[in-house]
Amino acid sequence: MTTYAVEVVYRGIFQKRLSANICRGIVLAAHKEAKVGTAFGRYGDSPERNGIPAKFFAVVADTPLELEESLAKYEPKEVDVTICLDDTLCKGIESWAWYGLQSIGAITKPGGTLIVTSKQTTEALLEDIHQKDAPYNLAIIKGPASFSGLWVYKDDHTDVRILGALAKVCPGLVSLESYCKAIAEQWKSEAKLKSAQRSYEQTQLRPVEPAEGNHGALYSFDKPGWEEMKEALVISGIAPGTGFRGGEGGFQPGRSDVFKKFSTRTMRPVVNFETCTKCTLCWLQCPDSCFDVTPDGLYDANMEACCGCGVCADVCPVADCVTMVNEADFTDNSSQYEHYQRDKKGYLRWLGGKTATPKAESRSHGLHHWSQYQDEMVAAAKERSNDN
Amino acid sequence: MTTTQQLKPIRGVHNAPLEEFYTSGHRTCQGCESALTMKLMVKAAGPRTIVLGSTGCMYVANTTYYSTPWVVPWMHTQLGSSGSAATGTAAGLKALMRKQKIKDEPINVISFCGDGGGADMGLSGISASLTHPEYNHLVLMYDNESYANTDIQVSGSSPWGANSTFSPPGKEHRIMNTRWKKNTAAMLAVGHPMSRYLATGCGSYAVDLMNKVRKALAIGGPTFIHTLDPCPKGWDYDPKYSHELGMLAVETGLWVQWEIEDSKLRYSGPSRMIAVGRRKRKSIVDYLKRQGRFAHFKEEDIAYFQAQVDQIWEKWGTPGVSPMRLDVGGDRA
Amino acid sequence: MTISTDLPVVQREELISGSEAIARACALADVDVVTAYPIRPYDTVMQFLSKLIADGELKCEYIVAESEHSQFEIVKHASAVGARTFTGSSGVGWFYGMEALAVTAGLRLPVVALVGNRALDDPGAFGCEHNDALAVRDLGWMLNWVATGQEALDTALIAWRVAEDPRVFLPCALSADGAFLTHSQQIVNVPDKRLVERFLPPYNRGDLTLHPDNPITIAPQVNEDWLMEMRKQSDAAMRRARGVIIEAYKDFNRIFNRDLTPFVDEYMTEDAEVILVGMGTMAMPMRVAVRRMRAQGQKVGFLRLKWMRPFPVEDVQRVLSRAKAVGVIDRDYSFGSPFHGGVLYNEIRSALYDMNPRVPLVGFIAGLGGREITQPFATEMFGIAQQVAKTGKSDNETHWIGVRGKKA
């Protein structure tokens, strides 16, 4: 007499099919054990925007009645396993479905498990993951975040590697054997079966104590009642901009008080203010108006407005001026320009460190050319065979 | 509102206004070129502007209750209502100003819609709005080539053969969308003599687009601009390439940039160079192969696509704009 | 009641149709934006109004749209920037613009519209049925039925006053029976414009106005966290509307020296054992029938409902509780509804549910497609209701009056 719930936290569109494949895999595998289940994306997240955090769920029970009891039709209030498909989401999530920043695994049961696909170490991840009141387990599936687009799926086996790991961290849900049956039936691929089994063997559980984790503050948003809300569907517009930091010269756009883009970002631009030619392109072409214009005509990417698309780096005519760096490499959202003003040498050292090993590729958002994923799969297969 | 604001042309990127009137607060996709179009549109228009927005990405992703990206006043309008929203707002302001119920001053009225709201459902309303010479407003159609907000369904403005949730390639039919993209701006230009300014544009050419918006608002009467907005979600490409794909669309000759001012037609940017023969069109393959929505194309599909683009430039009476040719006793073309 | 006598309450008398009376009201109210699109029978108001505008009797923006959808969207947006608006339609035209009608109410915009009641296609028919206007009764539109040209003019002025009241900010549909009212001419007293200005203050949308001096965002998309609160706001506005309507009628009577009742018109109901209820122009033949039956010593009466939204439960209960039996005449249908009754029948049935004793009710469908409600039909309905009064029990059957073939 048991019900299991799993949530998959993913990047909208980039991982839409991946998260769906995982949850469908769970339910199909459960079916092999004559269990009943349902897989569903949270309606509140639709329509998905690429990069915006979203959720998919799988709920499995022994009987239809138990499934109903678990309110599987809507959003589970607590889950046995949280799967995080992009380690930059460990910093917290602000999805379409709510305002404010929620911690990753906010609804993971005490003693439950958080699975993260990442190239980082457990300790590095725990700097981002907000601390919880109850102990839980952390499991890392070694590898980059798997991103692709709406039409062309990047089949790098991440889906089956997650299923293999699930069999290890939550044996009560579905057995490895059943996952393998489902995988064989779904994908008819020996290689994917191997990937699932290898992932099962490699997955380790790391107990996490309540004290451990990011002690940084999360923010929330209080919703007023209908008497407090303005009539006729009206809200105030964004305040007009000011000079840079409210002072003379430059320009700083007004910013939304209620929605920040911290958790929409998987990469962020870092700027070399020394080589900047003030060509204006990063600022002018930014769809998110994220650049504050400094009094001396430089452009400071404001992290509360940047969603990390990378257009600025792409349009920048100077080779090493704007570089996109893995969001996981940052612990705060402070102003690069202010750092540069405080301490030019120190900033350039910091910049050098961030750009020395550009991790941009590990965060490449989807398709560059038709055959791209096949090419990458060949490389990935090599990497896997090197693993053992 | 008999007068319009005198908006001077922007000479080069360094003279672009610093002020933003569409800023953070929207939840559009990473690399959303339509968001860029919105930003440039109001940057060019300035603070004394009212914006009306039809249902679509630039409604749902921009303004989710309690957050908005708009510094200028903004109001939602229905999917097919961009034309009537512009007319109604301009008419309301004009009536109140004529009766001295509010201060008589030029206020820009801009109404935008996506390709679904403009090229499909809203066409008759836009057409009607362009027949009212006494109302000053701009209807801007941001074209990301699908019903992108509802989950990327094919529209009358989607390219031939493109993958969409309503036109997926399958075992029996590789090409489900067998329609060629509607030529909306030129269609409206031909049929609305009272509209003094119609143009096409693209956010990748920011200054050109901002100046077209300024001309459209300053010239008076109803005007129309059609922008092509690369969509990383529906076209399936890395968001950092939005700018490049906009340029490629123009450089391959697939998207033609022009303006018609008091019935004088001018090409702009690379389209001009192509039209006067000073520049060769890039091969359409460079454009198609970078988008997942065309990944199911076979060589013959690419060839067909290229042939259509060639025809637009080599066979049309007004290359890239209108197929109409004068037939004086037998077509000599 | 103090009556202002410094100005003539009747400036001039005119022989005009109900539609034309409402066009006059538009000029008196100094409407800012009018949109038109042709469909019979409401279009008569626009034919007359366009002439008034052409002759300079009303200065406004007059726009002939390319469809009802645009027709309603244009006034919706004009209303959002603070302009007083008027539009209208009939039958399927009203339905063609239904999306715009829904959002106008959601946006709390005080558009005033005339519905020249017309049967819905198919088949194409020009005659009167109430289903067109009734389609907006759940959306946040105030909805009333007028019976005479004079009432059309008066109620139009009251409609702007109530709709534009900041406590309400809801659109209002004036319903006028196609042909019977829209096309028939009667002597109408047109009041002095200066008196109208005393009754009807300028439309001021305050900090909800769309203007560069008030940079707001109107109607962002919402998820399940917000919509229910917004619906509650509309509900609260409609609840407040009742009091605002009563206020408006009181001022109207004072300023124009009249004695109108806000929600219902009673005709010989005081001591009536049987009361029939209906809306619109059917009141005329029904009053004649009441007089004739009274002459034969039969205690019957007629209640005309003037406002359908907000629904005047208190007034309906007060009047009908006195009767031994009540009959409801619907010039509409609601196929498959409880007891196969019309819309009004079921609304009144629900309004009477809590009454003790509960008066027996019988339903009639009559006058569909513009068919006349004749004296024989009227007496037939009273007869059936009198039977119910005698037995004290209703068979809960809805009777189709004047239909060829079986009546139920």
| C242/C268 same-domain check | no
| C71/C155 same-domain check | yes
| A8/A112 same-domain check | yes
CATH number, residue A42: 3.40.920.10
| C203 vs A: CB within 8 A | no
**Pairwise CB contact (< 8 Å): C216 & A96:** no
Domain annotation covers residue C31 = yes
Which percentage of chain C shows pLDDT scores above 90? 93
| C297/C325 same-domain check | yes
Predicted local distance difference test score (pLDDT) of residue C275: 98
Predicted local distance difference test score (pLDDT) of residue A76: 86
Q: CB-based contacts of B18: which residues, under 8 Å, 6+ apart?
A: A241, A250, A251, A293
| A139 vs B: CB within 8 A | no
| A17 vs B: CB within 8 A | no
Predicted local distance difference test score (pLDDT) of residue A387: 60
Structure tokens at A368: 């560059």
Domain annotation covers residue C406 = no
Selecting from C169, C224, C226 the residue whose C-beta is nearest the C-beta of A231 gives C169
Beta bridge partners of C265: C304
The C-alpha of B59 sits at a distance from chain C's nearest C-alpha, in angstroms, of 7
The C-alpha of A46 sits at a distance from chain C's nearest C-alpha, in angstroms, of 10
Cis peptide before C123 (omega within 30 of 0): yes
Q: Reduce the DSSP state of residue C185 to 3 states and report it.
A: strand
Q: Do C316 and C279 contact (CB within 8 A), yes or no?
A: no
Domain annotation covers residue A375 = no
Q: Do A268 and A308 contact (CB within 8 A), yes or no?
A: yes
| A196/A249 same-domain check | no
Residue where a domain stops, chosen among C202, C222, C256: C256
**How far apart, in Å, do the first and last CA atoms of chain B sit?**
47
Q: Do A269 and A306 contact (CB within 8 A), yes or no?
A: yes
Domain housing C120: 12-256
| C208/C341 same-domain check | no
DSSP letters, A90-119, are GG-B--TT-SB-B-TTTTEEEEEEEEEEES
Mean pLDDT of A256-277: 93
Q: CB-based contacts of B330: which residues, under 8 Å, 6+ apart?
A: none
| A55/A194 same-domain check | yes
Predicted local distance difference test score (pLDDT) of residue A258: 87
The C-alpha of C217 sits at a distance from chain A's nearest C-alpha, in angstroms, of 5
Predicted local distance difference test score (pLDDT) of residue C127: 95
Question: Which residues in chain A touch residue C79, judged by CB atoms under 8 angstroms apart?
Answer: none
> Which chain C residue is nearest to residue A226, measuring alpha carbons?
C229
Domain annotation covers residue C20 = yes
Selecting from C218, C223, C232 the residue whose C-beta is nearest the C-beta of A234 gives C218
For residues C360 and C381, what is the distance between their CA atoms, to the nearest angstrom?
14
| C229/C351 same-domain check | no
| C67/C200 same-domain check | yes
The number of domains in chain C is 2
| C347/C252 same-domain check | no
CB-count burial class (<10 Å; 0-12, 13-18, 19+) for B181: buried
Q: Do A280 and B14 contact (CB within 8 A), yes or no?
A: yes
Predicted local distance difference test score (pLDDT) of residue C224: 86
Residue where a domain stops, chosen among C256, C275, C301: C256
> Which domains occur in chain B, in start order?
13-164+176-314 (3.40.50.970)
Predicted local distance difference test score (pLDDT) of residue A376: 84
| A159/A273 same-domain check | no
Q: What are phi and psi of B70, to 5 degrees?
A: -90, 125
Domain annotation covers residue A183 = yes
**Pairwise CB contact (< 8 Å): C221 & B75:** no
> Which chain B residue is nearest to residue A95, measuring alpha carbons?
B27
Per the prediction, chain A carries an average pLDDT of 92
| C217 vs A: CB within 8 A | yes
Interface of B with A in 235-254 (CB under 8 A): 236-244
Model pLDDT for residues B160-183, shown as the tens digit of each residue: 999 999 999 999 999 999 999 999
Structure tokens at C12: 């001039």
| A239 vs B: CB within 8 A | yes
Residue where a domain stops, chosen among C230, C256, C282: C256
Selecting from C215, C219, C225 the residue whose C-beta is nearest the C-beta of A233 gives C219
Q: Do B320 and B313 contact (CB within 8 A), yes or no?
A: yes
The C-alpha of B48 sits at a distance from chain C's nearest C-alpha, in angstroms, of 5
| C250/C278 same-domain check | no
> Which chain A residue is nearest to residue C80, measuring alpha carbons?
A232
Domain annotation covers residue A307 = yes
Q: How many CA atoms lie within 13 A of A241 on its CB side?
A: 28
For residues B182 and A259, what is the distance between their CA atoms, to the nearest angstrom?
37
Residues of chain B with pLDDT under 70: 1-2, 330-333
CATH number, residue A288: 3.30.70.20
| C216 vs A: CB within 8 A | yes
DSSP letters, B224-278, are EEEEE---IIIIIS-GGGHHHHHHHHHHTTSS--EEEETTEEEE-THHHHHHTTS
**Pairwise CB contact (< 8 Å): B94 & C220:** no
CATH number, residue C130: 3.40.50.970
Domain housing A25: 3-208
For residues B302 and B309, what is the distance between their CA atoms, to the nearest angstrom?
11
The residues on C that touch B, with CB distances below 8 Å, are 30, 32-33, 35, 59-61, 63, 65-67, 69-71, 73-83, 85, 99-100, 103, 202, 210-212, 214-223, 225-226
Name the pLDDT band for A361 (thresholds 50, 70, 90).
low
| A50/A95 same-domain check | yes
Domain annotation covers residue C281 = yes
Distances (CA, A) of A93 to A54, A100, A220, A259, B63: 9, 8, 11, 12, 19
| B97 vs C: CB within 8 A | no
Q: What are phi and psi of C162, to 5 degrees?
A: -75, -45
**Pairwise CB contact (< 8 Å): C212 & B101:** no
Question: Which residues in chain A touch residue B238, judged by CB atoms under 8 angstroms apart?
Answer: 310, 364-368
Interface of B with C in 40-69 (CB under 8 A): 47-50, 52, 59-60, 63-68
| A121/A194 same-domain check | yes
What sign for the dihedral angle of Cα C36, C42, C47, C50?
negative
* Mutation choice for A interface testing from B13, B67, B238, B290 by most A CBs within 10 A: B238
Predicted local distance difference test score (pLDDT) of residue A375: 87
**Pairwise CB contact (< 8 Å): A223 & C218:** no
For residues C238 and C231, what is the distance between their CA atoms, to the nearest angstrom?
11
**Pairwise CB contact (< 8 Å): C233 & A231:** yes
Selecting from B73, B77, B99 the residue whose C-beta is nearest the C-beta of C211 gives B73
> Which chain C residue is nearest to residue A230, measuring alpha carbons?
C208
For residues C93 and C121, what is the distance between their CA atoms, to the nearest angstrom?
10
Selecting from B81, B94, B127 the residue whose C-beta is nearest the C-beta of C73 gives B81
For residues C90 and C87, what is the distance between their CA atoms, to the nearest angstrom?
11
**Pairwise CB contact (< 8 Å): C220 & A44:** no
Model pLDDT for residues A60-115, shown as the tens digit of each residue: 999 988 888 876 567 888 999 999 999 999 999 988 777 888 999 999 999 999 99
Cis peptide before C122 (omega within 30 of 0): yes
> Which chain A residue is nearest to residue C208, measuring alpha carbons?
A234
Per the prediction, chain B carries an average pLDDT of 96
Mean pLDDT of A282-297: 97
Q: Which of A193, A188, A189 is nearest to A176 (CA)?
A: A193
| C209/C232 same-domain check | yes
Domain annotation covers residue C305 = yes
Q: What are phi and psi of C330, to 5 degrees?
A: -105, 130
**Pairwise CB contact (< 8 Å): A231 & C107:** no
For residues A337 and A343, what is the distance between their CA atoms, to the nearest angstrom?
10
Predicted local distance difference test score (pLDDT) of residue C47: 97
To which residue do tokens 């009361």 refer? C275
Q: Do B28 and B62 contact (CB within 8 A), yes or no?
A: yes
**Pairwise CB contact (< 8 Å): B64 & C223:** yes
| C124/C238 same-domain check | yes
> Which chain B residue is nearest to residue A12, measuring alpha carbons?
B29
| C41/C186 same-domain check | yes
Domain annotation covers residue C408 = no
Selecting from A96, A225, A237 the residue whose C-beta is nearest the C-beta of C215 gives A237
What sign for the dihedral angle of Cα C225, C226, C231, C232?
positive
* Mutation choice for A interface testing from C77, C167, C208 by most A CBs within 10 A: C208
Predicted local distance difference test score (pLDDT) of residue C310: 98
Q: Is the pLDDT of residue A284 over 80?
A: yes
Domain annotation covers residue A230 = no
Q: How many CA atoms lie within 13 A of B187 on its CB side?
A: 13
Q: Which of A148, A47, A57 is nearest to A96 (CA)?
A: A47
Model pLDDT for residues A104-156, shown as the tens digit of each residue: 999 999 999 999 999 999 999 999 999 999 999 999 999 989 999 999 999 99
| A305/A198 same-domain check | no
| A171/A249 same-domain check | no
ipTM: 0.95
DSSP E strands, chain A: 3-11, 36-41, 53-61, 79-84, 108-118, 136-142, 206-208, 234-236, 267-271, 291-293, 299-301, 322-326
Domain annotation covers residue A118 = yes
Question: Which residues in chain C touch residue B92, judged by CB atoms under 8 angstroms apart?
Answer: 32-33, 61, 77-83, 85
> Which chain A residue is nearest to residue B295, measuring alpha carbons?
A370
The number of domains in chain A is 2
**Pairwise CB contact (< 8 Å): A151 & B30:** no
The C-alpha of B181 sits at a distance from chain C's nearest C-alpha, in angstroms, of 25
For residues C375 and C373, what is the distance between their CA atoms, to the nearest angstrom?
7
For residues A81 and A58, what is the distance between their CA atoms, to the nearest angstrom?
10
| A364 vs B: CB within 8 A | yes
Structure tokens at C248: 């408006």
To which residue do tokens 């009198």 refer? C386
Selecting from A96, A289, A315 the residue whose C-beta is nearest the C-beta of B20 gives A289
Predicted local distance difference test score (pLDDT) of residue C1: 45
Model pLDDT for residues B110-157, shown as the tens digit of each residue: 999 999 999 999 999 999 999 999 999 999 999 999 999 999 999 999
Chains that touch C (3 or more CB pairs under 8 A): A, B
Chains that touch B (3 or more CB pairs under 8 A): A, C
Domain annotation covers residue A178 = yes
Residues of chain C with pLDDT under 70: 1-5, 408
Selecting from A238, A314, A366 the residue whose C-beta is nearest the C-beta of B243 gives A314
Question: Which residues in chain A touch residue B28, judged by CB atoms under 8 angstroms apart?
Answer: 49, 287-288
| C226 vs A: CB within 8 A | yes
What sign for the dihedral angle of Cα C370, C374, C379, C380?
negative
| B46 vs A: CB within 8 A | no
Distances (CA, A) of A205 to A26, A104, A139: 20, 17, 5
C344, amino acid identity: L
| C268/C328 same-domain check | yes
For residues B45 and B54, what is the distance between their CA atoms, to the nearest angstrom?
18
Cis peptide before C220 (omega within 30 of 0): no
Domain annotation covers residue A59 = yes
